[in-house]
Structure 1
Amino acid sequence: MSVVDLAQFMDDLAARSGEAILPFFRAHFGLDDKSGAGAPFDPVTEADRAAEVVLRNLIRATFPDHGILGEEFGSERLDAECVWVLDPIDGTRAFIAGLPTWGTLIGLTHHGRAVRGVMSQPFLGERFVGDGATATLHGPRGPRRLRTRRCGGLGEAILSTTDPRLFAEGEEQDRFRSVEAEVRLSRYGADCYAYCMVAAGQIDLVIESGLKPYDIVALIPVVEGAGGVVTAWDGGPATEGGRIVAAGDPRLHETVLRRLNP
């Protein structure tokens, strides 16, 4: 497929998954807890499963030789040259609370590198699309090129993390807190939307821990395409998840890495 065809296919994936999800949003639906006894609440809904089934079926029909890694139904052909990485609803807690800070993450890797990504928020009619070189918001006001903003110091920065309780007590939490103590403003609970706001130049920094590949792969090409940087805390690739730093300004990213790796 050509680049244009691939872009259209990813747009179709976003549209079809949104059709599967929206009937469940702000409605009554089935809810399960994937966590074990005594573990933190880890919800999954009928909407998560319905959307991932739609995504997998479309990918299999169009690219039968590609691999797939999804949150709800596991992996297949991870040794393929191209692997789709899917999170049908990133931000399930926000979804079940009726808050629109969730999204469908559709990422594509080539030889393990994140090359294309979409974050679709069908309730708001927004799709954040990136290929690592460019990033675009397609929304109710039409397409808009995304660019991160300049922010050279922590004192000017807006920071987001999904939940400060993500960080393990002790050294990991202390390192996060040392960064948070110096920023201008911190916000919690935005999940994937925070990374898109980095790409849009609204937020400067996202710091997280405990992520899975399907939580981050689709967002890497969006942030990088807008001029930002996404890595692990040690500066390595972010595609495997774990402890992640995303910054709109490369100078800010370097500063934060030094703080997280004293």
Structure 2
Amino acid sequence: MRQTLTSETQAELIRTAHALADAARPVTLRHFRTGIASDDKGSNAGGRFDPVTEADRAAERSMREVLARERPEDAILGEEYGPKTGTSGLTWVLDPIDGTRGYISGTPTWGVLISVADEWGPLFGLIDQPYIGERFEGGFGRAFVQGPRGRSDLRVGPVRGLEEATILTTFPEIGTEAERAAFRRVADCARLVRYGMDCYAYALLAAGQVDLVIEAGLQPYDVQAPIAVVTAAGGLATAWDGGPAHGGGRLLAAANPAIHAAAMELLAG
């Protein structure tokens, strides 16, 4: 059973999450489209380029400084600086730049991912896109986006069949050979497939623009904020077999149970 958080604690966690995003925004923007150097972490299977920049590291450092000041009792799991233990039962899961390949290419599909979780998964999450100025949030009864057009509610789109669906993923070469074959079974049934979206794909799903996001080879810091935002907007976000996905691996996010079930059946072969 999940721990019960008071309304005051929930409000504090929401405030802290926004403070983290506010801290990371100027750091990421300072280096964006400047030709910043990148190193290859070499952590991807198959030798695919896995870049990291000083913007990634500096943005995570700025967020950790906020947490040290505001929530020192909480644990942290960050992509660049790993885990920090805590005593509160809550963990902040941070991806300072999700989509570093897009970031160094100058595309605005990267984002800052922030979530707070207990041992059962994310409770609240933000997908922040600093360059566009959009911030998507979900959890604790909240689901909305704040951006250039002001604030609006997040709600997944209407029920559509798979033959009418738009599917997003990041890489055409998704996962392993078997995972690529599974993805193709779903993609071949859809009306439209688009690539290269990184975390922005989940924001678009929560905003009702697309129907499915299918990815593999993910880490906890890649998925926890998107799971919080998508589910708060009325969607589903599970592993490919329907189980919990907050630990990473394969993620299937869907606008409704019907299209989720249809995609899951095809992924299973």
Which residue in the other structure is 1:110 paired with? 118
The 3-state SS of whatever aligns with 2:35 is coil
Q: Offset at 1:36? A: 6.1
Which residue in the other structure is 1:23 paired with? 30
* Distance (Å, rounded) in 1 between the aligned partners of 2:92 and 2:26: 20
The 3-state SS of whatever aligns with 1:167 is coil
CA contact (8 A) 1:228 1:246 kept: yes
CA contact (8 A) 2:122 2:224 kept: yes
Which residue in the other structure is 1:241 paired with? 248
* Distance (Å, rounded) in 2 between the aligned partners of 1:167 and 1:79: 35
The 3-state SS of whatever aligns with 1:217 is helix
Which TM-score applies when normalising by structure 1?
Answer: 0.95
Deviation sequence 1:64-107 (CA, Å, 0-9, x none): 11111111011111785100100000010110011100000001
- Alignment of structure 1 residues 105-254 onto 2, 5 Å: 105-131=113-139, 133-169=141-177, 171-254=178-261
Gaps of 5+ in 1: none
Which residue in the other structure is 1:261 paired with? 268
Which residue in the other structure is 1:68 paired with? 76
Over 2 Å off, 4+ runs: 1-6
Which residue in the other structure is 1:43 paired with? 51
CA contact (8 A) 1:10 1:106 kept: yes
Q: Offset at 1:30? A: 2.7
Q: Offset at 1:191? A: 0.4
Alignment length, in residue pairs? 261
The 3-state SS of whatever aligns with 1:143 is strand
Deviation sequence 1:96-147 (CA, Å, 0-9, x none): 0111000000011022321000011111111000006431001112110010
* Distance (Å, rounded) in 2 between the aligned partners of 1:208 and 1:80: 31
CA RMSD in angstroms comes to 1.6
Q: Alignment identity in percent?
A: 47
Which amino acid is the alignment partner of residue 74 of structure 2?
H
Which residue in the other structure is 1:8 paired with? 15
Which amino acid is the alignment partner of residue 246 of structure 1?
A
Pick aligned residue for 2:85 from 57, 77, 93: 77
* Distance (Å, rounded) in 2 between the aligned partners of 1:34 and 1:10: 27
Which amino acid is the alignment partner of residue 236 of structure 1?
G
